Amino acid sequence: AQRFAQLGTWEGELRVGGTTHAVDRDTWVGSRDRSWGIRPSGESEPAGRGADEPLEGFWWLYLPLRFDDFAIGAYLADPGSTMDAGATSVVFGDDSGWTTNFPIGSLNGSNGFTITGIGSLDWSGYSVSDAGDVNGDGIDDMLVGAPYAGLYGETYLIFGKTSGWTQTLDLSTLNGTNGVRLIGYAGSTGHSVSGAGDINGDGYADIVIGAPDGKAPGGNAGISQAGLSFVVFGKSLGWTSTLAL
Say if strands 112-116 and 2-5 run parallel, antiparallel, or are unpaired: unpaired
Q: Which residues contact 74 (CB under 8 A, 6 or more apart)?
A: 86, 87, 88, 89, 125
144-192 per-position pLDDT tens digit: 999 999 999 999 999 999 999 999 999 999 999 999 999 998 889 999 9
**H-type alpha helices, the chain:** none
Q: Residues 234-240: what's their mean pLDDT?
A: 97
Q: What CATH architecture does domain 70-244 belong to?
A: 7 Propeller (2.130)
Chain region(s) in the chain for CATH 2.130.10.130: 70-244
pLDDT class of 227 with cuts at 50, 70, 90: confident
**Secondary structure (DSSP) of 177-193:** SSEEEEE-SSTTTTSEE
Q: What's the confidence (pLDDT) of residue 142?
A: 97
Q: What's the confidence (pLDDT) of residue 57?
A: 40
Q: How far apart are CA 239 and CA 82, in angstroms?
A: 28
117-141 per-position pLDDT tens digit: 999 999 999 999 999 999 999 999 9
